[in-house]
Structure formats: C-alpha cells, structure tokens
Structure 1
C-alpha cells in the first residue's frame, strides 16, 4: 500500500499469528533490491484494549511509534471507522473516498516529550546546523506520536536535506533520533514540505511530518487551520487548533497483494 508514494508492506496478523518480527526480518523485507521493498513495514496485531495494534518498522529495521500515511492505508484496508493502538498512543481512523481521515491525537511540545537530551525552549530552539549558503537554525520541536524538528525557511527546495538530514537525525540532542522537516510558505493556508525521515531517508511523503509542520506554522502565526501541505508525492490537509487534536486527511491506495516464504528473510 502507499500514501502519496510513501509505501508500505502491510502484514495482517490480527486473526492469524505470524512468526516473531525482528529488526533483521523487517530490514530484509524492506530491501528494494532483494526483498519486497518499502519505506516502512506495517504489522497489524491483536490488542487487549483497542480493535487492533499497528506496529511500524522503518526500512532500517528499527521500530517507531507513529506513521500518518500508514494510518490512512490501514484505515482503507480495515474499511470502517476504528480506534487502534500505536506506539505513540491510540489514534482514530475513518476511511473516506480514496483515502482516510485520521485523528492523530494532541501534539506535545515539552522538551522531555520530544525528547531532547536536555531542557530547551522547543518553540524556537537556540540551535543550528551550517550549510553552504548560511545555516539551518531556530527550529521548532513537536512530538506527534514520534519526534519531529521543523525548520520554516524561505525556500524548502534550496535546503540540502539529503546532506543535512542524517546529520540532524543523529545529533546527540535527539536521544531517539528525529524526523527533519523543512517547509516554506506558499499561501496563508498552504505549505510546501520536504522530509528526511529517521531510518528511511528522504521520502515522497510523511504524514506525521505534515502534521508536525502544520502545527509549528500555526503556532508561529504563519498559517491558519486548515492547512494544505504539499509534499513531493502530493497534498495532505491538516486541521488543528491549540489544545485540540490533529486531524489529517489524504489519499491512500493498495498497490498489490502477494505471499512470501518467511524463512527466506529470517
């Protein structure tokens, strides 16, 4: 499945158990040359308190807490409104024509909720990273089930995100690593966004990144909700008011179904 080109292998173990997922198996399945190939592997499992649980493994095999695009794909697969468990907390999914609407929960701004390595103002962080034409600096940090740092810049396309993304992702300031977003203003209700996703690299789309970036721009007074966020793969619509939860709407699609021999990837 995919959401705006951010693609997933979805394994449905809600009613039929699968062997134990490991970092090695997830990484092997995600490999685009020798596996099935994906940005994230999604595992659906039974849950004691919600309809089911969605687990998310990045292409490097690491398990992460949230994925907005995968949430829309899972809503489409499930086919009915539902509240599910994720590592970042419960989320509510509702399929729509050609996609889904997802309540991603409330954003967090406390330094230890991001988390950061030490106390810091997350509204305008007093940090920066040099680049050839200046510096990428004064970002905002937001946790939307997973950690994001957002740079609001004049031209998102001018930032060498392929070079700076991994540097910022692995900076000691972010003990759980971080997703790196660079965004520029198109209109009072429209942002252009590029994302370096931890464990996956440059991505065509990132749902949680769109959520975090819209929240950051609303807090900075640059845009008003709802916000259209344009990523390389297409558009998402994000609505948020301070004190409330984030509503994300956008497309999702199934690409194909198939089978594989688990032992070949273990």
Structure 2
C-alpha cells in the first residue's frame, strides 16, 4: 500500500489517497500503521476522500484506531497533500469533516533561514463551552468554565472545557514544562465526567499574546502539537479573562496562531511533506 507522510507543527500523519476509490482503513490497520516501532509511526491516519458537499472529505483515525471528529493540524496537512497530488490547484478549499465543513486556505509563507515554511489557515468553526456541547456530565446549559474536577489519588484540578467540534479540557498551570502531563493527562482523558473521553491541554500563560502548551490527545497520548487543542487553549484563556482573543500558542512541535472572532476561530500554522513509502503487506 502506498502512503505519504506529512507533519504539521510536529503532529505527524500517514496520508492515504482514497480520492479515486479503495477500501477504508480499519481501526486495526490504523493501529498497526501508527505504531512507532513496528509500523510507519504517526499520531494518526488521514484518508483523502471525495465529498458530495465540499472539495474534499477528511477521515481521521487516531493511533489507537478511534475515529476523530476534527483535526486542525490534519486539515492543513490534507490541504497540502491535495495540492501535491493534483487534486486541488486553488488557494483555498472546503473540507468535509465529522464536525462539519471547514475552509482551508494558503497563508503567507515564512522563512526559516533560507528555507521557505509553507503555512495554511483553517476556519475551525465556533467554539462552544456548555457542558452539553463538550459533552460533560452535569447541568447541560452550564458553561464549563473554571470547574473543579476531582481526581483519584491527587488533588482536584480546575478546568475549563471547550468543544472545537471535539472535546477539550484545559488546565492552566504555572510551569508547563515541569507539570506531570504523563500522569494527569490520562486521568482527565478518561475521567467519568467525559462520556466520550477528552483531549487535555496544559497551558502556561506567558503574556497577553502568548501561551505555552502541552497536549494529551485522546486516543494518542502526549503529542508535539494539536490544532484544535491550541484553539481550545486560547478560547479557554480568553473566557477566563487571561488573554485577548488572538494569541500565539507555543507547543513542543512549533508555534500556531489562533484568532477568535465573531465568525469563529481561525488557526494558522505550517504543514510539510516529509516522505513517501509503501508497505509490504
């Protein structure tokens, strides 16, 4: 099977071209492909499919085989993949996802030394933070802002929860690099308050326009970046009065820019083609 490896701010994906047909990837196949030591290795598998309502359809399977509703970094990588494959030849496109249609467009190219860094923007939709929208147990219409969450064998944590088409639980910390993400992340991901599990962001406020974050992704574990997680972090920080509605989010894999307006959230960041290959089975 032919595959194509792409990354966006360190979030890496195995891209499969299903535009002209082919069988859907099964959860077991996704787990085998994403395995770092015995497979290709990736945070997830993205299938490029035809759409009846948009220019493209994106199907995303996490490293554990579960299907994700939306992925901001993945949408940017998919747009570049479609350009590289000749499926698209325009500066913007609409992408069908389980969270609805998303518009992706070229952004201004930056340079790292002499090398150009291709950047793309994704319309991430309107964020929601009522408990029912996450979903999160409790009063459905209550905003899930600054809520104390009990944890087994640890002190409770204060969280703000946001839906970016997928669930996010944001924790503000004083020292994100020293925080026990590997311990607290899985406790929050599988917390009984989240019936569909949740992504978890640990966020340190650097100043008015800058955040530093680490992400524990649902079905993956800690990743170098998460586009929807960066958006959720800025929304959560803004509704708590900690920052304005535009900020840069610094993740281990690179920086993403998030702009929250009346129309929704715009995510801008890089995407890159890494290599191609073929599996033997």
TM-score (norm. length: structure 1)? 0.92
When the two structures are aligned, how many residues end up with a matched partner? 258
Contact 2:210/2:249 (8 A) holds in 1:
yes
Q: Does 1:149 align with 2:169?
A: yes
Paired position in structure 2 for 1:28: 32
Aligned-residue RMSD, C-alpha: 1.5
Which digits, 9 at most, give the CA deviation of each residue in 1:148-203, with x for residues without a partner? 00011222223201011111111111111000111011111000101100111011
Aligned to 1:222: 242
TM-score by length of 2: 0.87
Give the whole-Å Cα distance in 2 for the aligned partners of 1:59 and 1:143. Answer: 21
- 1:252 and 2:252 correspond: no
Shift of residue 95 of structure 1? Answer: 2.3
Mapped pair 1:82 → 2:93: yes
In 2, Cα distance between the equivalents of 1:162 and 1:240?
29
Show structure 2 runs of 5+ residues with no match.
1-5, 84-89, 110-117
Question: Counterparts of 1:41 and 1:12 in 2: how far apart (Å)?
Answer: 11
Does the CA contact (< 8 Å) of 1:238 and 1:248 recur in 2? yes
Higher mean alpha-carbon deviation, 204-213 vs 106-115, is at 106-115
CA distance in 2, matches of 1:167, 1:100: 33
Give the Cα separation in 1 of the matches to 2:133 and 2:143.
12
* 2:149 is aligned with 1:127: yes
Contact 1:140 1:150 in 2 (8 A): yes
CA distance in 2, matches of 1:121, 1:253: 37
Q: Specify the alignment match of 1:11 in structure 2.
A: 16
Counterpart for residue 204 of structure 1: 224
CA contact (8 A) 1:73 1:99 kept: no
Between the aligned partners of 1:234 and 1:219, the Cα distance in structure 2 is: 24
Q: Distance in 2 between matches of 1:158 and 1:136?
A: 18
Gaps of 5+ in 1: none
Q: Which residue of 1 aligns with 2:45?
A: 41
> Structure 1 residue 147: deviation in Å?
0.3
